[in-house]
Amino acid sequence: MKDKNFPNDNNTQSLEELTNDINSILESLEKEKDLQNSINKYQELLKLNNIIERKFQINSKKINEKTKQKIQKIISNKNEK
């Protein structure tokens, strides 16, 4: 699923806020008796999950880049000695 398909307000939320939203949806799904409402809530749950996964991927990429840079710096410092 592409980022542009996500609701904008969810993209700006923190991981903690997204997790709270998911927990709220899960609680309501457990109580829901109407199948159609359950389907809509479940779809929202999937969207939120995808947003969280994407945020983790982005953060992981950033961490990997920073780690590479630090390793390169250490290697270059060793080579200078």
Please state the pTM of the whole predicted model: 0.65
Nearest-angstrom CA–CA distance, 65 and 73: 12
Nearest-angstrom CA–CA distance, 30 and 52: 22
More confident residue, 75 or 80: 75
* Span 11-34, pLDDT tens digits: 688 888 999 999 999 998 888 888
More confident residue, 35 or 22: 22
pLDDT at 1 over 80: no
Q: How many CB atoms lie within 10 A of CB 51?
A: 21
